[in-house]
């Protein structure tokens, strides 16, 4: 099965092509080309098929489930569906630039309708963040890769600073990055500068995604052993590979210990 839609976005000034493919029980969303933006197991729509979506929830190693969360970039709705199902205490607002993406997420990827826990806004993610009150989000997730990468308004130091200011005292900004993106180091450096080095990188074992966790404040010097113990509690509760997240975090961020966890 193949579905296609094309649109010129006045805000982004770029064409978006939506392709949907079905193979071996997996439905995938593509924004043109072969790269997969979202994937859903048709007989288990809540499962997080793509590794990077599972890695996102590595933030639970450092924080309790958020009360207020913002998702920039809906895609097929994998992250939104999982939060809606697994975190009933979380109110999630998702901001998606393209109305066609929202329509496809709901008609073909079983993303739920708006309710008391979940709301989708069609609009510009950067403008939405700038319009938020300070200290109003416990978690901000930026998952806004398109055909040409991250839109520049969502990757500036000013935007990352605005995200930092909208976080509560224990808040976390999670940014989905591509390790092979030629601007990866630029993004990493901007995040590190804005968050005073309080950044951890978690690589996904699939397609080169890297999740950057950026913390509003220090974390009182948790040890890797303490994080491993927390992973053992979280793994059966949520069914995700938190033990592997800790191992990968330790491998990639051991040199950051003194800088991050003060």
Are residues 147 and 13 in contact, defined by beta-carbon separation less than 8 angstroms? no
Report yes or no: 49 and 183 within 8 Å, Cβ to Cβ. no
Region at 197 (left for phi over 0; alpha for psi -120 to 50; beta for the rest): left
Backbone angles phi, psi at 201, to 5 degrees: -110, 130
Contacts 24+ apart (CB under 8 A), 229-235: 230/61, 231/61, 234/60, 234/61
Q: How far is CA 114 from the centre of its chain?
A: 19
Measured torsion, CA atoms of residues 111, 116, 120, 126, in degrees rounded to the nearest 10: -140
CA dist 215 and 171 (Å) reads 6
Q: Is 143 a catalytic residue?
A: yes
DSSP single-letter state for residue 44: B
For 37, half-sphere exposure in the C-beta direction (CA atoms, 13 angstrom radius) is 28
Catalytic option among 135, 143, 165, 243: 143
Catalytic center residues: 143
């Amino acid at each position: 099965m193949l579905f296609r839609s094309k649109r010129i976005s006045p805000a982004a000034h770029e064409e978006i092509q939506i392709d949907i493919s079905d193979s071996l029980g997996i439905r995938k969303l593509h924004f043109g080309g072969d790269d997969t933006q979202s994937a859903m197991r048709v007989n288990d729509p809540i499962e997080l098929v793509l590794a990077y979506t599972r890695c996102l929830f590595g933030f639970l190693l450092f924080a309790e489930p958020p009360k207020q969360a913002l998702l920039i970039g809906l895609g097929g709705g994998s992250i939104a569906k999982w939060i809606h199902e697994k975190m009933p205490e979380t109110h999630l607002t998702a901001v998606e630039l393209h109305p066609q993406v929202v329509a496809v997420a709901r008609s073909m990827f079983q993303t739920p309708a708006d309710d008391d826990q979940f709301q989708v806004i069609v609009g510009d993610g950067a403008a939405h963040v700038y319009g938020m009150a300070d200290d109003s989000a416990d978690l901000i997730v930026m998952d806004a890769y398109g055909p040409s990468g991250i839109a520049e308004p969502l990757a500036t130091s000013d935007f990352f600073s605005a995200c930092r200011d909208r976080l509560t005292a224990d808040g976390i900004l999670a940014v989905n990055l591509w390790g092979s993106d030629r601007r990866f180091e630029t993004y990493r450096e901007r995040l590190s500068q804005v968050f005073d080095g309080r950044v951890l990188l978690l690589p996904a074992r699939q397609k080169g995604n890297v999740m950057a966790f950026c913390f509003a404040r220090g974390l009182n010097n948790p040890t890797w052993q303490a994080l491993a113990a927390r992973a053992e509690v979280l793994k059966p509760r949520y069914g995700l590979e938190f033990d592997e997240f800790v191992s990968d975090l330790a491998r990639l961020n051991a040199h950051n210990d003194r800088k991050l966890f003060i």
